[in-house]
Amino acid sequence: MSADSAFARHTRPELARLLRAMHLDVTYRAGRGDHLTLELPDGDGDGAAGAGEQVLDLVGGAGSSLFGHNHPALVEVARGCFDEQIPFNAQGSVRPGAAELARRLSETVGATTGADYVVTLGCTGADAVEAAVKHATVAHRRHLGALQEEFETLLRRVRRDGTADVPCASGPAAGRPCAEVLDEALDRIAALRRTDPVFVSLRNAFHGKTAAAGTLTHGGNVPEDLHVPGPRHRRLNDWTPDAVVTALDAELVQVHSVTPDADGVPHSAVLHLSPVAACFAEPIQGESGVHEVPAETLAALRELADRHGAALVFDEIQCGMGRTGTFLASEPSGVAADYYLLSKSLGGGLAKVSAMLVAEDRYVPEFGRHHTSTFADDDFSSRIATAALDLALSWRERITEVGTLLRDRLAEVAGRWPDAVAEVRGRGLLLGVEFRLPNPESGMLREVLDSESLGYLIAGRILHTHRIRVIPTLSAPATVRVQPSALLGPAEVDRVAAAFDEVAGLLSRGDYATLMEHLAVPPRGGWQPPQHVPLPRRDRPALSAAARPDGVPRVAFLANLDVPTTLWSMAPELAGWSDRQCTAALDRIQGELDPFEVVRHRITSEEGRTVEVVMIAVPFTAAQANAALRAGQGGWLRRSVLDGVELAVSLGAGVIGLGGHTSIVTNAARDVVENDVRVTSGNSLTAACAYDLLRLTLAEAGAGERRVGLVGGIGNIGAVMAELVAPHCESLVLVGRPGSGRRLSVVADRLGGLTDVSVADDLDALRDCPIVVSATNSSDPVIAPHHLGRDQKVLVCDLAVPGDVHPAVAGLSNVTLVSGGRIQLPGVQTPRFPGITLPPGILYSCLAETILLGFEPTTPSPSYGGLTSAGVLAARDLAVRHGFHPARIVSDDVSVRPWVDDQLSTAFEEDIR
């Protein structure tokens, strides 16, 4: 199994699909300094690189590689650890490495804040956040516990001294007996101790993904059910200082304290207690798109924390360690926190290590005895971190210098392309470039370039064209993070600016074909279908026809892409791409795209009734659908159609038609279960068109010529066609794929006695048939010239989309090839539906049936589940009523005739009705 397949199957299936879709499914085999070595397998096909090309890395380990990859001084320390064979695991002993690191961290942060710190080491950033939540919880409980103890002692004392009933001489409880006041205070403290502590974080905060950290994180782009319950939490959306300071005033609990003076006379005072245990902030928010929290807001947070007796925690996991030019990013604000969290670059890009610094006077000494972690405090990580600390302190100026240069250059780019780049933000080497959402003409590209994927798409372009690695920030994917190492030189800054300039130019000019070129390269493999996320149904807006101002009924027609080059019409911006490029791009993005609206048109019936039809593309091709069905992966296809249905319902469609494979993968539409919407596969009208043609042909055929071959007889349309045609022909042969004999026999048995029926699993059986009907689900042609008779006239009616008949058949002089299932609209109406390449005014029957149902609000769908002969005739009647006529397309000739005269109506039809 290749690494790609193993990654997709056993590691991160969903991520693997995103990476593959965006052509970020690459592997780096080495890292040195600012560069990673990209491993490109032979024949990757983008032609831009050979194996082992150098890529300038601006992702920098999501902020962990401030010193570049494998910095020699840090590698030396790591090597020294191995050479010395220092013990990795020596828990329950004095750990010199951890001690030295903690002392140095306390000293370094203390140089700014003037405090001393006790340091809890961990492995990951989230570890440090969890430790802070836990420590603050313990500190909060201990504080309330100590207060309770103090009040209880006082109460016992006044009772012992016989002064319990003495009224307070002053303060808010003046005149009330002091024991009563203390009792009341104790009740309130006890109540507060029973409530869970509250944690505060900011709008767009990112503090990690574990339970408590995840609760503090503002995860806008993560499915709701991926959050697990954490501590009680409040988010501060308004950052204005007043709003911050007073945000949690409602949580404050007033308690009256009692203090006897020197003469034993009790005086009361007000104490404010609070359930708030800690307020968290990243001084520069990283993952939400690099946003600096204003110094006033940080100061207000300090005040808020003090007002509630809570701890102020600065999460400098990403922005600290010198990344912004000062050791702490919060330094310039002049605001000091009680806890500081560090990680990422603390490990020098080599070790997994994090640190929670708690001001000594706030530290709960017992914490360090009980908060343990197997891998914390190891000498290996600690020694590397200590060396990294040295580098961080000595590189501050250099970081400011190169950071300023880089920011200026990127700002120039933003100035040049203001319609593509919204803003360049950040400080030092923590920068973010926010792109504006482009507005391409086609719905498809609007879907591809949505806010979730834009940054990844840009990242792919920059990687494959400029050999520079960027990725978006985690929770603001339209912002591309630029977090290089401090090794970045001026020449590289030029390269970075040029790359951003090129991409911004492409976006600004709307040159999406070039911007997305890297997607049009065949993927390497390793694909897993998307998993369904069962979320509560969205609230559906009341968009029914009656509720819309124009009152025009709306219907939706869902269609997959029949062949890859449908892309040219779905996304005309990509019309310059080759067939191969279309196929590759669709293979890449398979399963990643949501259904999208393609176009809407109004259609009028002969009587003047109007419906609005909205075409919705379900983004898989017929070939992809067939391959997935064969691989037993039909679930995601069905899901994709159901997402399209959901979109249709939200648009207020009263009828939903399922064109092409969308009905096949939903079990002839049976899997679409809606209450107030009629659902149709539209196949009855398709069958009605074919039946109409065959009835006429059979009526005109001489004796001995009414031999019909039917390909695809076990399919939905095929089976009903067999039933309809059987009474009119002399013989009927049902032809299917090898191995389909038994299922064909079931269909044949149902026709018992109507005609001479036989079955065959070999297309050669068609050679004896002057009339051939084909309705398979195949994505490739199945009927080739050699399957058809040569010495007789043959009529082939192809009902399949994509077609079942090989193009070479059209060249046979004895064969008339009719594309069946086409309908002419009444009057002069020529709506264009991208992806449907039919002559003007002509529609597929399945689309026509959807529209026809829209004209008649109460007529039931004739095509839900298995088709019936009665349903086919009902669909035909519907078309007759509204002036929709069958169109015969032979080569490029279109002929439209009214439906076959009722005179031809047979006793058989009377029976059906």
Residues that bind ligand PMP (CB under 6 A): 62, 124-126, 129, 206-208, 282, 286-287, 315, 317-318, 343
Helix, strand, or coil (residue 490): helix
User: What is the closest distance, in whole angstroms, from the C-beta atom of residue 315 to ligand PMP in the complex?
Assistant: 5
Contact yes or no for 596/650 (Cβ under 8 A): no
Backbone angles phi, psi at 356, to 5 degrees: -115, 120
The pair of structure tokens assigned to 738 is 């090898």
User: What is the closest distance, in whole angstroms, from the C-beta atom of residue 345 to ligand PMP in the complex?
Assistant: 11
The pair of structure tokens assigned to 827 is 């009057």
Place of tokens 């603050």: 136
Task: Give the containing element (helix H, strand E) for 201.
Answer: strand 198-202
Q: Which is nearer to ligand PMP, 356 or 783 (CB)?
A: 356
Q: Which is nearer to ligand PMP, 463 or 471 (CB)?
A: 471
Q: Nearest CA to 247 among 263, 234, 259?
A: 234
Contact yes or no for 671/649 (Cβ under 8 A): no
Contact yes or no for 512/489 (Cβ under 8 A): no
Contact yes or no for 326/103 (Cβ under 8 A): no
User: What is the closest distance, in whole angstroms, from the C-beta atom of residue 375 to ligand PMP in the complex?
Assistant: 13
Q: Which is nearer to ligand PMP, 212 or 867 (CB)?
A: 212
Question: What is the pairing mode between strands 421-427 and 198-202?
Answer: unpaired
Contact yes or no for 758/734 (Cβ under 8 A): yes
User: What is the closest distance, in whole angstroms, from the C-beta atom of residue 433 to ligand PMP in the complex?
Assistant: 18
Q: Which is nearer to ligand PMP, 287 or 292 (CB)?
A: 287
How does 494-531 read in b/e, with b if 16+ C-beta sit within 10 Å?
Answer: eebbebbbbbbbbbbebebbebbbbbbbbbbebbbbbe
Q: Which is nearer to ligand PMP, 208 or 718 (CB)?
A: 208
Q: Which is nearer to ligand PMP, 65 or 778 (CB)?
A: 65
d(CA 158, CA 182): 10
Q: Which is nearer to ligand PMP, 315 or 423 (CB)?
A: 315
Q: 10 Å Cβ neighbour count for 758?
A: 14
Place of tokens 């591809």: 448
User: What is the closest distance, in whole angstroms, from the C-beta atom of residue 443 to ligand PMP in the complex?
Assistant: 34
Q: Which is nearer to ligand PMP, 61 or 865 (CB)?
A: 61
Q: Which is nearer to ligand PMP, 321 or 414 (CB)?
A: 321
Q: Which is nearer to ligand PMP, 290 or 838 (CB)?
A: 290
Q: Which is nearer to ligand PMP, 206 or 435 (CB)?
A: 206
Q: Which is nearer to ligand PMP, 380 or 596 (CB)?
A: 380
Q: Which is nearer to ligand PMP, 122 or 529 (CB)?
A: 122
User: What is the closest distance, in whole angstroms, from the C-beta atom of residue 389 to ligand PMP in the complex?
Assistant: 18
Q: 10 Å Cβ neighbour count for 323?
A: 32
Which amino acid, 123? C
Q: Which is nearer to ligand PMP, 318 or 663 (CB)?
A: 318
Q: What is the DSSP letter of 594?
A: P
Contact yes or no for 604/831 (Cβ under 8 A): no
User: What is the closest distance, in whole angstroms, from the C-beta atom of residue 169 to ligand PMP in the complex?
Assistant: 51
User: What is the closest distance, in whole angstroms, from the C-beta atom of residue 287 to ligand PMP in the complex?
Assistant: 5
User: What is the closest distance, in whole angstroms, from the C-beta atom of residue 478 to ligand PMP in the complex?
Assistant: 18
The pair of structure tokens assigned to 516 is 């997305």
User: What is the closest distance, in whole angstroms, from the C-beta atom of residue 124 to ligand PMP in the complex?
Assistant: 4
Q: Which is nearer to ligand PMP, 210 or 626 (CB)?
A: 210
How does 567-590 read in b/e, with b if 16+ C-beta sit within 10 Å?
Answer: bbbbbbbbeebeeebbbbbbbbbb
User: What is the closest distance, in whole angstroms, from the C-beta atom of residue 131 to ligand PMP in the complex?
Assistant: 12
Tell me which residue has its CB nearest to ligand PMP: 125
User: What is the closest distance, in whole angstroms, from the C-beta atom of residue 292 to ligand PMP in the complex?
Assistant: 13
d(CA 474, CA 466): 22
398, 472, 586 from 592: Cα distances, Å: 42, 17, 10
Q: Which is nearer to ligand PMP, 342 or 717 (CB)?
A: 342
Helix, strand, or coil (residue 575): coil
d(CA 879, CA 851): 10
Contact yes or no for 97/375 (Cβ under 8 A): no
448, 449, 523, 756 from 512: Cα distances, Å: 11, 9, 20, 58
Q: Which is nearer to ligand PMP, 323 or 464 (CB)?
A: 323
Ordered DSSP codes for 801-836: SS-SB-GGGGG-TTEEEEEEEEEEPSSS-----TT-
User: What is the closest distance, in whole angstroms, from the C-beta atom of residue 613 to ligand PMP in the complex?
Assistant: 47
User: What is the closest distance, in whole angstroms, from the C-beta atom of residue 161 to ligand PMP in the complex?
Assistant: 53
User: What is the closest distance, in whole angstroms, from the C-beta atom of residue 340 to ligand PMP in the complex?
Assistant: 12
The pair of structure tokens assigned to 614 is 């909205």
Question: What is the pairing mode between strands 893-896 and 885-890?
Answer: antiparallel
149, 173, 188 from 267: Cα distances, Å: 19, 8, 19
Contact yes or no for 488/51 (Cβ under 8 A): no
User: What is the closest distance, in whole angstroms, from the C-beta atom of residue 430 to ligand PMP in the complex?
Assistant: 10
d(CA 879, CA 683): 13
User: What is the closest distance, in whole angstroms, from the C-beta atom of residue 6 to ligand PMP in the complex?
Assistant: 23
Gyration radius of the chain's alpha carbons: 36
d(CA 521, CA 45): 6
